[in-house]
Amino acid sequence: MNKTSKTYEEILKCVDAALKKLGKNIDKSIYYYLKNDFNLERFEIPEKPEIFERALISIFGEQGAKVLQKLILVEIKNSFHSFPLNRRSDLTFKEVVTRVKRLSVRA
């Protein structure tokens, strides 16, 4: 397993952890919706964060998607201890994934 696939898998674990905070089996329902309505498989989320963001907005609305993105951001911060957040809460999932991928390539 290369560095990129390890990073992607860790990002997916962070997404899973955030979704599980919404309730039991919510993650399975969201992944089902992603696959059927957005043609996005779970493993593709780090590769296609913009589609994931659109799906979250479709499911939860603008504000709900922002809340979920913040939950994911917290999980990423906890998982990637070297990830600099600088207390910015306005980062999108796409921006966070791009930064994490860039940092993992440098490491």
pLDDT at 87: 53
Helical ranges in the chain per DSSP H: 3-20, 26-38, 49-79, 93-106
pLDDT confidence of residue 82 = 61
**pTM exceeds cut of 0.85:** yes
Residue carrying the six token digits 């966070």: 96
Amino acid at 32: Y
Band (pLDDT 50/70/90 cuts) for residue 36 is very high
Taking the CB of residue 101, how many other CB atoms lie within 10 A of it?
A: 18
Domains and CATH numbers, the chain: 3-106 (1.10.1200.200)
User: Worst-scoring range by mean pLDDT, 2-6, 22-26, 63-67, 75-79?
Assistant: 2-6
pLDDT tens for 49-107 read 999 999 999 999 999 999 999 999 889 988 887 666 555 567 788 888 888 888 776 65
Whole-angstrom distance, CA of residue 22 vs CA of residue 82: 26
The predicted model gives 2-22 an average pLDDT of 90
